[in-house]
């Protein structure tokens, strides 16, 4: 009988980058991913516009849930991106 290791949660995060730009991504370890972005080992976007700070993060139970939330977040206008994190999951008025 094999023992199944529980899946690690994924996080959706939002960075403020140089030039006032926002970058959204998912990661298992947000702090580690932030430092990858900071030192040019993250996404191509953050190599061009390095991150200044982490604005928000939210935990999801699976990678699929985090990816779906990332798509929703990226579809929002800039003004709605921080508000996305201000409301508990399910209370965003779908």
10-86: CATH topology: GIY-YIG endonuclease (3.40.1440)
Is the per-residue pLDDT at 90 higher than 60?
no
Residue that has been written with the tokens 């991150």 in this structure: 51
Could you give the angle at the alpha carbon of 19 between the alpha carbons of 63 and 17, nearest 5°?
30
The residues spanned by each domain of the chain are: 10-86
Query: What confidence tier does 1 reach under pLDDT thresholds 50, 70, 90?
Result: low
Helix then strand then coil, % of the chain, to nearest 5: 40, 25, 35
Is the per-residue pLDDT at 88 higher than 80?
no
What pTM does this model have? 0.86
Is the per-residue pLDDT at 5 higher than 80?
no
């Amino acid at each position: 009988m094999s023992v199944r290791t529980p899946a690690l949660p994924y996080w959706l995060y939002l960075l403020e980058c140089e030039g006032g730009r926002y970058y959204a991504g998912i990661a298992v370890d947000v702090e580690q991913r932030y430092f990858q972005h900071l030192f040019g080992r993250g996404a191509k976007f953050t190599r061009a516009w390095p991150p200044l700070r982490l604005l928000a993060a939210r935990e999801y139970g699976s990678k699929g849930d985090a990816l779906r939330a990332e798509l929703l977040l990226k579809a929002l206008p800039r003004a709605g991106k921080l508000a996305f994190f201000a409301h508990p999951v399910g209370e965003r008025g779908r």
